[in-house]
Structure 1
């Protein structure tokens, strides 16, 4: 089997979540049936949203350090536990020595396989600003609804003031209103387009039909590594 290199630290709990999903998605009977995963939990990577808004330093130098550490350590292909960081992938690609599985492309392929052609996007402010989901999903003829500016801020806050801050008593009513508005626009399914979003949905017991981009990437990585996959999608 191929060895997975996981660029982590964005954030640490999201990294653990992706690794756990890889392990749970591997159809293994014993330790030796699992995939060799090398994790670089690089918490020094600057905030991706701040960089996109030109309010903070670029994460590219630290991302490249992780790329090289993992490749030198023996990773056969790379994945990244941050949706927003995929905005910077074009700047990484000229330096890659091994394949890179793109979380957003894999999620679009999953939607096509399920004949889903209209989704709502739940993401961080940086992901919304970057437009990466809209651009890639357009190539697959999938319509992406996004919240208005106030709704985007609400989605950003549940990530940063809820999950990242470890706030178990976060008020989700504004977030629920954002979901309802996108449903009215025709989005029956929602892309959890930030690695913390699945944690938010689970932590705060939010109901709906959600497509976990982290789970999609985990299962794609298991298959790409050459291991038998148990699907939870």
Structure 2
């Protein structure tokens, strides 16, 4: 998988044999049923409705909603103030994984698998239904706790999942960021973005069953004021289906 963004240091993995229960806070009322990633740009006139829709999704407790601003529209007269080349490369890697080579804005990737127009709620909901196959939550449970400046990530395999391997990622996010746009296609608009990703930090590999990972809280929050954890399969070293996810406190 593409390892863009700021790579975390001092990330540690602990064998599954270590006891988990005593270290975990009570489980969230709802495990996420979907992860939606919006590839957007401040220089794209079609993106503001999708950005507003992602704000709505970010308020749903069973959805992990992420904004990933891309940089390939910067030449249109306004350089996106939140964009990162790592997000552009992630979007392209998804297109290669799907084998459709479709890269556009606003593009919503649902559960690492389905591509949708980012402003089309019906299409996104259909993609969620198609990728969850009737399940009320993602197949693998991921639980978080924070103690003494350390985030503990506990992974629990559920019996119905066929996937046995994946990678753990920690993504720092800005929960809300409002940007006045002075030039380009969105000149004069002020747009609020939700859960803007600030880094892609690969923690380690998951090979099935229960496992525990630890990450410094400072790393999980670097550049942001919240964080999200993804458990994601890989397809020829590219991002694949998302197997599990969890939101940090306050998201």
TM above 0.5, yes or no, is no
Structure with a larger share of its residues in helix: 1
- TM, length-normalised to structure 2: 0.26
